[in-house]
Structure 1
Amino acid sequence: MFAKRIYTLSVCFLVVLLPLIGSATIFSQNIPGESRQITISSAKTALTIDYDHKAAVTSLIINGQKVVSSTDGMFTSVKVGSITYSSLHTKSNPVIVQRADSLKITGINYGDKQLTISETWTFIKTSKFIKWKIERSFSKAVNIDEAAMPVINFDNINTWEGAYQGYGGLAWFYLFNEKLCTYGVHTRASNFWNSKTNNGLNITVDAPGEQVAMKYTRTNDDRLQYSVTASKQEMLPRGDTGTNRRRFIRGRTNVWAPFFEPADKTTQTLTFTYFEYDEKYGRGKFTGINGEQVSAVLGTIAHIGVIDSLHYGGNSWHTPYGPICLHEQYIAQLGLGINDPAYLNGYKSCLDFYRDYAIKPDGRVYPRWAYTNEDAMPGQFNKDGFYEAQWGILLDSNPDYVSNVSELYDLTGDKKWVKGQQLACEKALDWILKRDSNHNGLVEMMTDSKDQKRSSDWIDIIWASYENAFVNAKLYHALIKWAAIEHQLGNTGKALYYEEFAAKLKTSFNKPTTDGGFWDDEKKCYVHWRDKDNTIHGRNMVTPVNFMAIAYGICDDSSRKKLILDNIEAQMQQENLFFWPLAMTSYAAGEGKEWQFPFPQYENGDLFLSWGALGVKAYADYNPAIAVKYVKKVLEQYSKDGLAFQRYGRLKQDGLGDDILSGNSLSIVGLYQAIYGINPLYNRFYLEPHITSELYGTELRYNFHNQRLTINLDSSGYAVSNHFFKVISTKNFGFAGSKNHLSYFDGSNAIASLQIITDKPLTIVVKNWNNEQREWSQTASKVSIKPLSYKISQLKPNTVYIVSVNGKTVQKTKSDDKGNLLINHRISELTESLSVHLDN
């Protein structure tokens, strides 16, 4: 294809390719004083490559900011035993072939007599990104201690605030508080971001037939080192014998175990793409509340319970033992606030993994997973790291598994996925429902008495036994959520069974303690548990129990709600607490582990922020001003200490514990769900705000089922819109908009009340919607030649209705036997008022 001319000089060898047909140039230079660097750039990304007896990227510029600027900026390496080989020291000068839109580097050979690594690098640029293809082969098969394709050394540990993983987790560099902290994960994508510079860099890895792992290290010179490893088998944590599963280590960088690599050729491609942080992760305009703090909490703390691609929980990967509590019902709920499709899709894979490895054959759900087995009950763990906790059989893991599946289904609308979870959820529920031996609707724990000193729920060193209100409240929530899904999956029999059990549970739960229930007439609260001998325990206003009773709809007695919430708030003001404690007063002697006394101490009265979403929801329905107050107090605390603790002490309200819980963000999730009213559901975006006047003017951006929605909350009404449709109403409603198809759901109704098919952008304002009349105005972008199709549902069957436009009757028509009315209407004015009402 090309004609070659060869020149022989006395001091050097030079090969020049003269393009006759194409536009490629080959460089192989060792002329003294000549540059052996070349730059390739695309969009807002530029790479500079040095090929002088090495192959390395010495500069990476992102949107004008140099983030890599060293001779060892990016390179490839292999460590075998104590010897490290790298492309920083090649056996000869590589050869470059340059084209208009690509750059190829061959002859990247490094190693020694025992092992030679041969690589070819190809850089391809487009208008939006740069691809870096690395082809590698070994001179022989070898056992490798560490390998990187490539290593990237960013200039400073603070160059990026964090890196969101392809599965929705976060490498948060704030937590790399020592040199040589290293965090390893299994993912093919990393989104580096800095909210202050607004710069972001996505690096995606394509390695056909290979497993991909990444690690992040704070180096001895305070740089951020990012390494990508591809291997035939999944990378395992170093020293993994089934008892060590650590992803985060200190004082060293070798987080991954050695692995075998055949002499076969391997290929992987990295794609570098610039993004604007605010465009990709921005949340909109906040009024009356600190939006920067809201974004920071949901963008960092909410993510850190995601330890790896198949391990989601509430405890941070940063802890020495890295536990995951499967007995936490709010892990999917965190996704509502995180609002990242990667988190939701990743959690689906995680729950599939839990389905396959964390559920025993009889349906019992293991409550925990950890880096090691030190917290496990002796002999009660499996090879995958799931175990029964040493404190007792924590029964809330069974309903919580089902709740998380159910809520994730609402967030994604993935019916095929939830169908794949159906048998597991039924098995988990059926296992715990069998524990109602006296058939009163309340399931019983494994212990009969506090004197056995074993726990049964999340509050794991309080000796809740027999009939436990905490576990039963969670079970009620799971039954209601899952029964609705059983209906959708066509299993009416199971749905009715779960609904009937839930109704019986609710009735018994609400009975006075003197009649076998949990309501304490004297203390004016729901108690924590009843022992088998009928003694009542936990009469100290345990806040999660009482908040769950209200928020989950178990307590529908308005006078009881008022008593509970007013009494809690009175004591909160008296003590001037910034957040609700686990219990308002002390457990009685003998009801918990000895060192929790005297009150307040740890689970006997300290402040655990993980129950914030429930508290916010309980108050939002009753008095939203109180809910907003505590959201602001949590944000104020964040501004002081970053919420970087396991809990807060009762007396000094000081941060305690060496863990950071992702649940510390749940008050802010509650802000989204209960105050702003954002409730994604499987078939619609449901908006039910409880806002105060100070929040008027809020405009949120929200990802929902592969769409970017805008939510407006104002004194005049609420609105939801996508790029094509907009619905405005003064009350709660549901919205679904796909191509040419708009659905409006009245109130909390799961069936669309109004559907419109049109090929023009349309805004509707709901004015009146009741059994007698349906009225709305609509504004189109232009008058239509093609009629719009309308379907009005849930009318009286076989009934004549009058259709009016701008107050004038245009037709009379009859609803069908299902109460549906079909209308075709051509828009003649940009703004019209339509009405459908009974023909009286």
Structure 2
Amino acid sequence: MLLNKTIINFILSLLLLLSFRGIAAPLVTESKIVTISTPKITMVLDYGDKAQITSLIVNGQKVVSNTDGAFTSVKADGVLYSSLHLKGNPVLLQTPAAITLSGIKYGSKDLTISEKWIFIKKEGAIKWRIERTFSKAAKIEETDLPVINFDNINTWEGAYQGYGGLAWFYLFNEKLCTYGVHTRSTNFWNSKNNNGLNITVDAPGKAVAMKYTRTNGDKLAYAVTVADREMLPKSDSGTNRRLFIRKRTDVWAPFDVSTVKSCQSLTFSYFDYNEKYGRGKLAGINGAQVSAVLGTIARIGVIDSLHFGGNSWATPYGPICLHEQYIGQLGLGINDPAYLKGYQSCLDFYRDHAIQPDGRVYSRWAYTNEDAAPGQFNKYGFYEAQWGILIDSNPDFVTNVAELYDMTGNKDWVKSQQLSCEKALEWILKRDGNNNGLVEMMTNSQNQKKSSDWIDIIWASYENAFVNAKLYHALVKWAAIERQLNNPVKAGYYENFAAKLKTSFNKPTSQGGLWDEEKQCYVHWRDKDNTIHGRNMVTPVNFMAIAYGICDDKARTKLILDNIETQMQQEKLFFWPLAMTSYEPAEGKEYQFPFPEYENGDLFLSWGSVAVAAYASYNPALAVKYVKNVLEQYSKDGLAYQRYGRLKQDGRGDDILSGNSLSIVGLYQAVYGVNPLYNRFYLNPHITPELSGTELKYNYRGQRLTIGLNNDGYSVANNKFKIISPRNFGFNATPSQLSYFNGGNEQTALKVTSNKQLTLNIINWSSDKMEWVQSTTTSSAAPLTYRISQLKPNEQYSVSVGDKVVTKGKSDSKGELTVNRAKTPISENISVIHAN
């Protein structure tokens, strides 16, 4: 150290001498470097004539090592000022508790930005606090607090947002692509090396936004903005709300700052990608591909914190279709609590801004109004499509609320949505003008050339099977919620309407129904003049009829599914098309003819979950076959298209739909049988022999579950309790109580209270005999209490351990019986038998 100072002093003296002689010499400053390190994260701070993070290492991987590094900046009047060029040298103070860098000043003669940086190590993380003051109030064009320039656009595969969305760098396919979001947290990840970096911003009372840019040097620039008010897109003139831009970096509009000091902190912490997002062992199927599809494709319809849909944020006009009933269902496959929490906020936003006073739910939102019918939009960006009044947005809003509620179990939240869902249902139920249970569209005839559902350039009119199938699904799900909210009158009303709808839906077309006896399928719609249209086996209509329980005729189900599969094999299609044969020319927009073209026969993967559900209970091998086909297609092209052509099965369209993941979501829900419900985790598998041995990791209400799927039985376990059963069952656990639900019954069959780790192996469960094996790792003097429910009220039962009757008791008036065990043995076989 002494030698270094001697050399430096010598050089400085030499330079001084040269200057006296009029000889120009370069300026030399003493290098000032400090390292901040935790076991998993290391930062290097350079505070010479600048303030900059020059190196960032995450779990041994250097992710920042370039000359740009990480720094703060402000752009005003077209000029960029940053902590790379300071007005003076900052001062470092290092204590055991923190490293403080003060005196950071940069800017112009008229505007000075003063900052203090404080670094604190806590619980393996590094907290970087930035205090900033402006010398005067000003309008700022851009500000970074900070910007971090990762070494390469491929350093991370993506960044999961705090609300469950995804900045996917695969879509940053040219330089200067920029994507802006409103969030306080981001999880950068790389599945190849399992490295993950969480950055969370704490800025009390402030709005936080982030943006991601592919730089001209192919780096990834990640920038944080903190402001007094929510950042607006620069293009937002009320008609352009674009958050993904190309060939520019200025995604945010200018905003005002004051002289009041702002304080914000960024916390950097490491996570293991597989531990946090891993899906376990998926036997008989490519688990890495399943994880990739659900981790990327499924999330890309989340445009921002309050805008969840099916179309990618990279789409030129970024549409969200509120007439998609599967956005909540995507959360089942994504399985990220952040997505569920984020979608809850989104649905609150839709409740407040997308539902019109009369109960009509706007069908779409987009970056621009170019797709809107003239004058049919509001200031929040919601609108009616130019193609027609797409009525399925009303039942779909209700379905998404109901399905999200099942996943979260948040009764207070669903109650806050109750009036809006009732209002949305009331609007559409009033459209049953002839009182036959089938609601009517806004048009009476295909000749009006307006659509009414998701297949938006087919002129479905009057009694539309597509919309009515969705309505049936919404009514059944919402009626159950009304009962939970202690409103049996409303529940009965919705149940009765659903029953009438189902009856009419299943009638032959000759009797006013929607079943075509000649074509052996449900038709798409009936015009008011009783002409029948869409007789071409429209697959979403027929799959929904089966999956949603409208068609419970096994012979009819077999007929539909076998006929579809026969043609699939003839054409060797890797996925189901929207229609098996052609619509009639007058039934849709002209450019869809001749068949097959676009919505008249192309392959849209968004209907994969209902298709898989339809086949899973009938022939699960076929369901798995098409799931594998989709995964194989993913390995070829990343499913990076809107749809696939019928003839060449080639990718088409300028968008990637999150719905391309739905057959994989269907794998989870209908084949693996993963069904989180409002009061339990319900496991109802339809696995094939090749899937036996699957062991899923699944997040459920703050617990990390392990789900075992074998041909001879299934299991669900958290870190304390486990249930094994030869058939479908429900599981719920609190820290001291385990609940078993028999089959699909929503009422608890058995509760056990214990402070020990415990496994229940269900042997038999019938009305007269219930038998299970209780086991634990070590015996204990801790007592066990069993509460058996759904018994015959006021009846005698005997309780046996092994072959020995240990007690007899009488069920109460509710059909419940309590059995107390004085201790917890390693294992015992218990049976409760009705005494006849």
Q: When the two structures are superposed, what TM-score results if normalisation uses the length of structure 2?
A: 0.97
Q: In structure 1, what is the equivalent of residue 476 of structure 2?
A: 480
The structural deviation recorded for 1:34 is 4.2
Equivalent residue of 1:213, what SS?
strand
Rounded Cα–Cα distance in structure 2 between residues aligned with 1:729 and 1:809: 24
Q: In structure 1, what is the equivalent of residue 789 of structure 2?
A: 793
Q: Is the 8 A contact 1:101 1:126 kept in 2?
A: no
Rounded Cα–Cα distance in structure 1 between residues aligned with 2:317 and 2:437: 37
Structure 1 segment 74-223 matched on structure 2, within 5 A: 74-223=70-219
Large movers: runs of 4+ above 4 Å? 9-12, 30-34
Rounded Cα–Cα distance in structure 2 between residues aligned with 1:557 and 1:198: 48
The counterpart of 1:546, out of the listed 539, 542, 546, is: 542
Q: In structure 2, what is the equivalent of residue 641 of structure 1?
A: 637
1:229 partnered with 2:229:
no
Rounded Cα–Cα distance in structure 2 between residues aligned with 1:442 and 1:669: 30
Q: In structure 2, what is the equivalent of residue 21 of structure 1?
A: none
Give the counterpart letter for 1:618 in structure 2.
Answer: A
Rounded Cα–Cα distance in structure 2 between residues aligned with 1:619 and 1:200: 38
The counterpart of 1:598, out of the listed 564, 570, 594, is: 594
Q: In structure 1, what is the equivalent of residue 801 of structure 2?
A: 805
Give the counterpart letter for 2:774 in structure 1.
Answer: Q
184-193 vs 71-80, which moves further: 71-80
Structure 1 segment 259-298 matched on structure 2, within 5 A: 259-298=255-294
Q: Is the 8 A contact 1:473 1:545 kept in 2?
A: yes
The counterpart of 2:460, out of the listed 457, 461, 464, is: 464
The structural deviation recorded for 1:787 is 2.1
The structural deviation recorded for 1:127 is 3.3
Equivalent residue of 2:433, what SS?
coil
Structure 1 segment 422-441 matched on structure 2, within 5 A: 422-441=418-437
After superposition, give the CA deviation of every residue in 1:456-481 in whole Å (9 maximum; x if it has no partner): 00000000000000000000000000
Give the counterpart letter for 1:81 in structure 2.
Answer: D
Q: In structure 1, what is the equivalent of residue 778 of structure 2?
A: 782
Q: In structure 2, what is the equivalent of residue 304 of structure 1?
A: 300
After superposition, give the CA deviation of every residue in 1:452-508 in whole Å (9 maximum; x if it has no partner): 000000000000000000000000000000000000011111111000000000000
After superposition, give the CA deviation of every residue in 1:563-604 in whole Å (9 maximum; x if it has no partner): 000000000000000000000000012000011000000000
Give the counterpart letter for 2:402 in structure 1.
Answer: S
Q: In structure 1, what is the equivalent of residue 18 of structure 2?
A: none
Rounded Cα–Cα distance in structure 1 between residues aligned with 2:45 and 2:616: 57
Q: Is the 8 A contact 2:450 2:460 kept in 1?
A: yes
Q: Is the 8 A contact 2:782 2:824 kept in 1?
A: no
Rounded Cα–Cα distance in structure 2 between residues aligned with 1:446 and 1:602: 24
The counterpart of 2:387, out of the listed 384, 391, 398, is: 391
Equivalent residue of 2:200, what SS?
strand
Rounded Cα–Cα distance in structure 2 between residues aligned with 1:517 and 1:638: 40
Rounded Cα–Cα distance in structure 1 between residues aligned with 2:200 and 2:802: 55
Give the counterpart letter for 1:371 in structure 2.
Answer: Y
Rounded Cα–Cα distance in structure 1 between residues aligned with 2:160 and 2:825: 48
The counterpart of 1:41, out of the listed 28, 37, 44, is: 37
Q: Is the 8 A contact 2:784 2:824 kept in 1?
A: no
Rounded Cα–Cα distance in structure 2 between residues aligned with 1:616 and 1:11: 76
Q: In structure 2, what is the equivalent of residue 26 of structure 1?
A: none
Rounded Cα–Cα distance in structure 2 between residues aligned with 1:561 and 1:430: 31
Q: In structure 1, what is the equivalent of residue 607 of structure 2?
A: 611
Q: Which 5+ residue runs of structure 1 have no aligned equivalent?
A: 1-8, 13-29
After superposition, give the CA deviation of every residue in 1:8-43 in whole Å (9 maximum; x if it has no partner): x9999xxxxxxxxxxxxxxxxx99674301100112
Structure 1 segment 546-565 matched on structure 2, within 5 A: 546-565=542-561
After superposition, give the CA deviation of every residue in 1:617-642 in whole Å (9 maximum; x if it has no partner): 00000000000000000000000000
The structural deviation recorded for 1:82 is 1.2
The structural deviation recorded for 1:372 is 0.2
Give the counterpart letter for 1:72 in structure 2.
Answer: D
Rounded Cα–Cα distance in structure 1 between residues aligned with 2:536 and 2:449: 19
Rounded Cα–Cα distance in structure 2 between residues aligned with 1:782 and 1:418: 42
Rounded Cα–Cα distance in structure 2 between residues aligned with 1:764 and 1:680: 20
Structure 1 segment 472-621 matched on structure 2, within 5 A: 472-621=468-617
Give the counterpart letter for 1:491 in structure 2.
Answer: N
Matched residues, percent identical? 72
Give the counterpart letter for 2:166 in structure 1.
Answer: L
The counterpart of 1:333, out of the listed 329, 346, 366, is: 329
Q: Is the 8 A contact 2:673 2:684 kept in 1?
A: yes
1:451 partnered with 2:447:
yes
The structural deviation recorded for 1:371 is 0.2
After superposition, give the CA deviation of every residue in 1:217-261 in whole Å (9 maximum; x if it has no partner): 000000000000000111000031110100100000000000011
The structural deviation recorded for 1:716 is 2.5
Query: CA, structure 1 residues 111+10, in 2 after alignment: closer, same or farther (shift >3 Å)?
Result: farther
Equivalent residue of 1:71, what SS?
coil
After superposition, give the CA deviation of every residue in 1:28-64 in whole Å (9 maximum; x if it has no partner): xx99674301100112100000111110000000011
Rounded Cα–Cα distance in structure 1 between residues aligned with 2:748 and 2:66: 59
After superposition, give the CA deviation of every residue in 1:624-670 in whole Å (9 maximum; x if it has no partner): 00000000000000000000000000000000000000000000000
Rounded Cα–Cα distance in structure 2 between residues aligned with 1:749 and 1:804: 25
Give the counterpart letter for 2:741 in structure 1.
Answer: F
Q: In structure 2, what is the equivalent of residue 19 of structure 1?
A: none
After superposition, give the CA deviation of every residue in 1:284-335 in whole Å (9 maximum; x if it has no partner): 0011000000000000000000000000000000010000000000000000
Q: In structure 1, what is the equivalent of residue 648 of structure 2?
A: 652
Q: Is the 8 A contact 2:29 2:48 kept in 1?
A: no
The structural deviation recorded for 1:715 is 2.1
The structural deviation recorded for 1:102 is 1.6
Rounded Cα–Cα distance in structure 2 between residues aligned with 1:651 and 1:219: 39
Equivalent residue of 2:501, what SS?
helix
The counterpart of 1:408, out of the listed 375, 380, 404, is: 404
The structural deviation recorded for 1:263 is 1.1
Give the counterpart letter for 2:417 in structure 1.
Answer: Q
Equivalent residue of 2:289, what SS?
helix
1:320 partnered with 2:316:
yes
Give the counterpart letter for 1:809 in structure 2.
Answer: V
Rounded Cα–Cα distance in structure 2 between residues aligned with 1:296 and 1:221: 27
Equivalent residue of 1:274, what SS?
strand
Q: Is the 8 A contact 1:767 1:775 kept in 2?
A: yes
Q: In structure 1, what is the equivalent of residue 21 of structure 2?
A: none
Q: Is the 8 A contact 2:687 2:711 kept in 1?
A: no
Rounded Cα–Cα distance in structure 2 between residues aligned with 1:10 and 1:70: 31
Rounded Cα–Cα distance in structure 2 between residues aligned with 1:497 and 1:134: 58
Equivalent residue of 2:495, what SS?
helix
Q: Is the 8 A contact 2:235 2:242 kept in 1?
A: no
Q: Which 5+ residue runs of structure 2 have no aligned equivalent?
A: 1-8, 13-25
Q: Is the 8 A contact 1:211 1:234 kept in 2?
A: yes
Equivalent residue of 2:329, what SS?
helix
Q: CA RMSD in A?
A: 1.3
Equivalent residue of 1:498, what SS?
helix
Q: In structure 1, what is the equivalent of residue 751 of structure 2?
A: 755
The counterpart of 2:365, out of the listed 366, 369, 374, is: 369
Give the counterpart letter for 2:37 in structure 1.
Answer: S
